[in-house]
Each structure stands twice: as C-alpha cells, then as structure tokens.
Amino acid sequence: MANRSGPAGRPPRRGQPNPYIVAGALVALGLFVGSVLAISQPPRPSPTPPIAATGEAGSLPPPETGTPDVAATSSVGSPPASGIVSGSPSVRIDPSLLLILPSDVGGLTVSEDPQTEQLDASDTSHAADLDAIARAVVASPSTSDLGVASVVRLRQGIFSDAYFRSWRETFDEGVCSRAGGVAGSAKTSIAGRQTYVGHCAEGVLTYHVYLPDRNVIVSVMSLGDQRLGEKLVEGIP
C-alpha cells in the first residue's frame, strides 16, 4: 500500500500519488451515500464477505438498495455549447470528458452534475495531478438505483501503478466510510477492460477503469440492483 502521509505543507513529488486528489469527489460521494442511507433507513445488514476475484463481473454480489435523490441537469449526449469552462484556478471542468460515458444506461439518461464538479475543481490539491475533470450521474426515479461517475484526465507523467492503486484505495475509503467501511475488492474484466471493483459492507460498489489512450481515469459509485455503475463501465466506447 502506498504511503499516504508526508511532511506537513510539502506537496507530493510529481508523479507520486496525491492522497487528496479526489477529496472533493470523496466528500460529495460520501455525503450523498450517507443521505441515501439516512433517507431509506434500512436495517443495518450483517457485513458481507469480500468480493471473490473470479474475473467475471456477473458473479459480483448484489448491492443493498437505497433511495437516490438526484436532480438531472444536462444530458451527457449534449455537453454545454461553451465546451471547456473554468472550474477554478486549480482544475478545468471539461464536460466533453463525459462523452467517454454512454448517454444512457437501461433507458436512464446519464447527466452532468455541475454542483459536485465545482466542488471537485475548487480543491487546490488537484492542480498538480489533474488536467481536467467532469462528473455525471444516472438515477432511476422509481427505484433505488444510482450511479455517480467521476471522469478525470491526468497530467502527463502522473500515472503509475502505485498512483492508480492509491487513487482507488482513497476513493473507496471515502465512499465506504458512509456505507459500513470497505469490505473487499477485486480485479475483473468488464467489456474487455481491466476493471477494479470495490465493495462496501452495506452493498455500495465502486468501479475504476484507466483508459491509457486518453490518460483518463473513470471512477464510479453504484447503488441498487440494476448495477448502473457496471453498465456505465460497459458502455464506455
């Protein structure tokens, strides 16, 4: 496991994992999962065993359900006419990154989430590692299903296996902190892509894919029986 601590006030060396690069995403996702669980108020399930690394996405255990409360703001298939806009002095918000994702999954529209994009982009710790960022959400209005995707383009020279591992661990710990803690993880193949799947004790799943040709990481939080997170990964062209 990568060392996530460092001298106070000293930024990580270039090319090393930054433990705070997804701080905005973790806050937004963690708070959202917490609100979902609070709204649904389900009985706390017994901790489930870690995901077995079978190599088959279909063998992953079903997640618990909740009640999403998401306002769809704009379709991924139609990014704003302004294209790349300034999110902060730190990181650009680039809605065109969402074209990496499918425009809909299971008949549900995948929409840009500008509020949490702004939260992510305003974190100055992103500046050393991220070139651009975008966020999308898909939710069923009639069921408890939800998928939240963060799409980030890295700066040149940043990616390494250690960096990606630290990214996944930090992301999963943040999401699962509101869903019973991290229960396990696995590496599998979804639509021919190597995908890392995290499993929270209360059933929330995460998915991580690196697209080397675009220098992009896609990280997804998924809640509900429809496996919208898995479908988002399946739909990456």
pLDDT tens digits, residue range 68-96?
Answer: 443 333 445 444 433 344 434 489 999 99
Residue for token digits 């669980």? 37
- Rounded to the nearest 5 degrees, what angle is found at the Cα of 163, between the Cα atoms of 162 and 166? 85
pLDDT of 120 reads 82
Q: Residue 80 domain-assigned?
A: yes
Instruction: Report how far apart, in Å, the C-alpha atoms of 24 and of each of 29, 62, 111, 175 are.
Output: 9, 27, 19, 12
Q: Residue 26 domain-assigned?
A: no
pLDDT (average), residues 201-213: 96
Q: Residue 1 domain-assigned?
A: no
Number of structural domains the chain divides into: 1
pTM for the model:
0.68
Q: Residue 57 domain-assigned?
A: yes
Q: Cβ–Cβ contacts within 10 Å for residue 200, how many?
A: 27
> Computed from CA positions of residues 76, 227, 25, 69, in that sequence, does the dihedral angle turn out positive or negative?
positive
pLDDT of 67 reads 40
Nearest to 152 by CA among 101, 104, 215, 59: 215
Residue 112 domain boundaries = 53-234
pLDDT in tens, 99-134: 999 999 989 999 999 988 888 888 888 889 999 999
Name the pLDDT band for 164 (thresholds 50, 70, 90): very high
Q: Residue 200 domain-assigned?
A: yes
pLDDT of 106 reads 87
- pLDDT above 90 coverage of the chain, percent: 53
Q: How many residues does the chain have?
A: 237
Q: Looking at the chain, which runs of residues are DSSP E strands?
A: 74-75, 85-86, 92-93, 104-105, 108-109, 111-112, 130-139, 146-154, 182-190, 193-200, 205-211, 216-223
Q: Is the pLDDT of residue 62 over 70?
A: no
Residue, of 66 and 233, whose pLDDT is higher: 233
pLDDT of 126 reads 80
Q: Residue 93 domain-assigned?
A: yes
Q: Residue 8 domain-assigned?
A: no
As a whole number of angstroms, the distance between CA 203 and CA 180 comes to 9
Q: Residue 119 domain-assigned?
A: yes
